[in-house]
Structure 1
Amino acid sequence: MYFYLFHWAQSGVPIVLKGTVADPATFMSKQELVLSGEYSKIRNFMFFVITPLEWLVYLLILGTGLSKVFEKWSEIGLKWKVIKNSAYVFFLYLFTTVLFYPIDYYRYSLSKKYGISTQDYSSWMRDYVIDFWVNFITTLIIVIVLYWLIQISKKRWWLYAWLLTIPFAIFMMYIQPVVIDPLYNEFYPLKDKALEEKILSLAEQANIPSEHVFEVNMAEKTNAMNAYVTGIGDNSRIVLWDTTLNQLTESEILFIMAHEMGHYVQKHIYIGMAAYILSTLFGLWIIAKIMPWLIHRFGEALKIEKMTDIRSLPLFLLLLSLMLFISNPISNFVSRYQETRADEYAMELTNNPEAAVSSFQNLAKTGLSEVNPPFIVKIFRYTHPPMLERINTVAEYTQKKE
C-alpha cells in the first residue's frame, strides 16, 4: 500500500479537464496543492495500516492469553455473570483504547499540522474521554445482550440478536440529536434569521417538517465545513456548522442545505437503515457459522474453549472488523450513488450550478481533499463522490437542462 499510494497510483486531473473548474490548480494555491497531496496520502496510508493492525491486536489478545487474564480479573469478588461480563468488556475496551491512543493522537496532531483542526489538546482530550464512555456504554449494552442470547440459544442467538438490533438502531437514531450530539458541542437556533427563513422555505418546498435550523459551534475545533439533516420523527433537525456559515456565501449555503434535504426527500435515511438491518442479519449469520468452527479448529491456540465464554469476544470483534472492511466497497458505492442523487436534487431545487461548483471547490480547499483519488482509495474510503465527479455532475446537469 505504501508503494501504491506514494509511488504508483495516478490521482491527477485528466488532461481534458486541465484548466477547467474541476482542476484544483484553478482554485487552490501551489502550497495548498502540495499540502493536499501530502495530507491525503498520509491519511490513506494510515487507513490501510491501522485496520489490519486492529486484527493483529485482537489475535495477540487471544493468542497470548490476555483475554483469559481479563476474564480472571473480572471474576474477582464478583458473583453475577452479567457483572463479570461487564467488567471484562471494560478491561478489554480500556486496553485497546490505551493501545491505540498514540495513533489517535497522531491523527489529531496531523490534522492540526495541516490546518484542518483548530482544537487545543485539552478540548480534544475532553472529546476523547466522552467518546470512550459513549462507545463503551453502547458496546457494553450490545455485548451483554449478545452473550446472554448465545448462552440461552446456541443455534439461534444470531436471529434473536438481529431482531433486537432493529429497535436499538431506531432508538439510537432518535436520541442522537438530543442526547449524544450535545455532549460534544453546543447547539442553538440559527442566529441569522433571514437565512433561516430561506432555508425553511427550501424545507417547505421539500416537504420537510422543520420549524428551526440549528447552528453548532465548530470553529473552535476545525476549519472543515459540514451541514446535515439528522434524527427521525419529532427529533429530526437541520444543522449547520458555524464554519460553513463563516466561509460560504448565502447561495452556497442554500445549495448545501438543499443537498442535505435531498437525502431526506429521497428517503436515504430509511434506505440506509434497511440496508443496515439486512447486512446485520447476514453478518450475524456468517459469524454464527464461522466462529464455532474457528473455536473448534483453533481454540487451543486462541485460548478459547467455547463460544459462550466472554473471552471469545475479541474473536467476534475480529470477524466483525474483517466483514466491515470487506463490505466497504459495496456500502461506499451505494453511499456515493445516494450523494450523487442528492446533488442532482439540490440543483433542481436551487437551480444554481455556479453555487454548486463553488461549494464543491470550497469544500475541497478547506478539507485539503483529493479531487481525483486513486481507485483503491476511492472504493474503500470515499462515501462521497470525489470532487472531480461532483463538479462533472453539475456540468452534465447543466448541459441536460440546456
Structure 2
Amino acid sequence: MFDFLASAAAGTAGSFDVEAATRVYLDTLQGPARAKSDAYFVGGYWLILWGTLVAILIDWLFLRFRLSAQFRDWGERFFKRPFGVTWVTALLYSIVGWAISLPWSIYTGFVREKQYDLLDQGFGAWFGEQLIGFAISLFFAPLLIAVIYWVIRKAPRTWWLWGTGVVGIFLFLMVMIAPVFISPLFNTYTEMEEGPLRDRIVAMAEAYDVPADNILIFDQSKQHKRVSANVSGLGPTIRISLNDNLLERTSEQEVVAVMGHELGHYKLSHGPKRVFFMLLIIGIGLFVVSRAAPWLIARYGDRWGVKDLADPASLPVLGIVLSVFFMLATPAFNNITRVQENEADAFGLDAGKEPDGFARAAMRLSEYRKIEASPLEEFLFYTHPSGENRVRRSMQWKADNVADAVIEAPPEGYLEK
C-alpha cells in the first residue's frame, strides 16, 4: 500500500488531487479494524430503538403495577403541599427506574464498551462513576420535575411553553457549574505546563479573543483512550480543557488542529445556539405531551391510579410520550450538533492551519465512528461529520491554501499509537 502512497504523492505534487489525498487517509483504516469500527457504530443505531423500548417498558411497569400512584401516596404522608408530594414521587421514580434499568446500563455502558476495547476501567471503577452520576441526577432531576408540575398546576393550558423556559434555566445552570463542580468529580484537572504547545494554543485563542487564562489537562486515560478537548463554561467558569490522551497519542499538529476546532465552538457561540435549538425541540416535545398525555390518562387513568396530568403519578405517562418523541426527533438533535461541528471544522482549519493534523485526528475517531456513510445515514445518525467528509474538507483546505501542496502519507501505524 505504501508504494501506492509514494507514487500518489509524487504524481500530485504539481496539481494537488483532493480525492486522491482523501483516499490515502481513508485507506489507512482497513480490514478487521474497519469492520470493528463500523460494527460498533452501526450497532449504536439499534441501541436508539432498543433503549427507547426499554424506557417505555419500565414506565409501563410503573403504571401497570400502580407504582407511581403508590409513590404519590407515600409523598402525601410526608408533605401536605403538592410541590413536596411531587418531589418525593419523582425521587422514588428516579431511584426505582435506575435500579430496573441497571442491567441495560451495564450492558450498553460497560459490557459492550469492553467488547469493542473502548473502555479501560474495571467494573468497580466504572460502576463507582455511575453512582456519582446517579447521585448528581437525584439532586437535580426531582427538583426539575417538581418545578415542571408546579407550572402544570399554575398554567394548565400553556404549561408546556413555561416548562420549556424552566428546562432552559436548568440547562444554563448546568453549563455554568459543570466545569467547576461536576467534571472534577470524575477527573483530575491540572494546569497545562508552559511550553511551545501551550504557546501555540494561547496564540490561537488570543487571535480570536477567546479567554485562555485556564488551559487544563484532565486524566481521561483512566477511563478510555479516546482523544477529546473542549472549551466549557460561561463567564468566570470558562476554561480550555484537553484530555491526556490527546497529548499522549497525537502529534503537535493534531493537537493544534483539534484545539482550533474547539476554539471555533466558543467563538461561534455554539453553546448558546445549541441550547436554543434544543429547547425548540424540547418545547415541541412538551407540547406533544400536553396533548397526548391527557388523552392517555382519560382512557387508562383509573387502571393506573392516575387522576389527571397535574397528578405526579402521571410521571411515567409523560415519560412514555417523551421517549417516543425523542427517538423520532433523534435526526433533529443530531443535525443541530453536526451543523455546528461542520462550522467548527472550517473555523479550526483556518485557525490552526494544520490540514494534515486535522485529517489524522479525524481518522483517530474511527475507533468508534464509522468512517464512511451514505448522505442519508449521516443525516439520520451522525452527530458529527463522517470521517470521510472531515478528511476531504481538510484536503480541500490544503489545496486552496497551501502553495505547492503535496499528498502526505500518514506515519505507518499511527492509528495504533
**TM-score of Structure 1 vs Structure 2, range by shorter chain:** 0.7 to 0.9
CA contact (8 A) 2:144 2:170 kept: no
Determine helix, strand or coil for the equivalent of 2:101.
helix
Match among 279, 282, 294 for residue 281 of structure 2: 279
Match among 256, 259, 267 for residue 257 of structure 1: 259
> 2-side partners of 1:57 and 1:380: how far apart?
26
Amino acid of the structure 2 residue aligned with 1:211: D
Does 1:381 pair with 2:381? yes
Aligned-pair CA distance for 1:311: 0.6
> 2-side partners of 1:91 and 1:68: how far apart?
11
RMSD: 2.5
Hey, what does 2:391 align to over in structure 1?
391
CA contact (8 A) 1:25 1:33 kept: no
> 2-side partners of 1:293 and 1:370: how far apart?
41
> 1-side partners of 2:64 and 2:377: how far apart?
32
Hey, what does 1:62 align to over in structure 2?
63
Hey, what does 1:197 align to over in structure 2?
199
Q: How does 1:294-333 map to 2 (within 5 A)?
A: 294-333=296-335
Q: More deviation in 350-359 or 33-42?
A: 33-42
Aligned-pair CA distance for 1:245: 0.7
> 1-side partners of 2:330 and 2:315: how far apart?
22
Determine helix, strand or coil for the equivalent of 2:308.
coil
C-alpha deviations, 1:199-236, integer Å up to 9, x for none? Answer: 11110111102212111001111011111111111111
Aligned-pair CA distance for 1:125: 1.2
Contiguous gaps of at least 5 residues in structure 2: 1-17, 403-417
Aligned-pair CA distance for 1:359: 1.3
> 2-side partners of 1:133 and 1:379: how far apart?
35
Q: More deviation in 155-164 or 76-85?
A: 76-85
Aligned-pair CA distance for 1:92: 1.2
Does 1:291 pair with 2:293? yes
CA contact (8 A) 2:229 2:243 kept: yes
> 1-side partners of 2:333 and 2:44: how far apart?
20
Aligned-pair CA distance for 1:301: 4.3
Aligned-pair CA distance for 1:94: 1.5
Q: In 2 relative to 1, CA 179–340 (structure 1 residues): closer, same or farther, beyond 3 Å? A: same
> 2-side partners of 1:146 and 1:347: how far apart?
43
Determine helix, strand or coil for the equivalent of 1:219.
helix
Q: Percent identity?
A: 23
> 1-side partners of 2:150 and 2:143: how far apart?
11
Amino acid of the structure 2 residue aligned with 1:387: G
C-alpha deviations, 1:89-131, integer Å up to 9, x for none? Answer: 2221122211211121112122123221101222111110011
The count of aligned residue pairs is: 385
Q: How does 1:15-34 map to 2 (within 5 A)?
A: 21-22=22-23, 26-28=27-29, 30-34=31-35
Amino acid of the structure 1 residue aligned with 2:369: S
Q: In 2 relative to 1, CA 38–329 (structure 1 residues): closer, same or farther, beyond 3 Å? A: closer
> 1-side partners of 2:73 and 2:87: how far apart?
13
Hey, what does 2:247 align to over in structure 1?
245
Q: How does 1:118-267 map to 2 (within 5 A)?
A: 118-191=120-193, 193-267=195-269
Hey, what does 1:97 align to over in structure 2?
98
Does 1:45 pair with 2:52? no
CA contact (8 A) 2:19 2:392 kept: no
Amino acid of the structure 1 residue aligned with 2:389: E
Q: More deviation in 73-82 or 46-55?
A: 73-82
Q: More deviation in 270-279 or 350-359?
A: 270-279
Q: In 2 relative to 1, CA 22–119 (structure 1 residues): closer, same or farther, beyond 3 Å? A: farther
Contiguous gaps of at least 5 residues in structure 1: 1-16
Determine helix, strand or coil for the equivalent of 1:257.
helix
CA contact (8 A) 1:196 1:212 kept: no
CA contact (8 A) 2:274 2:336 kept: no
Hey, what does 1:372 align to over in structure 2?
372
Q: More deviation in 367-376 or 142-151?
A: 367-376
CA contact (8 A) 1:328 1:379 kept: no
C-alpha deviations, 1:328-353, integer Å up to 9, x for none? Answer: 21221232121111111111112221
Hey, what does 1:10 align to over in structure 2?
none
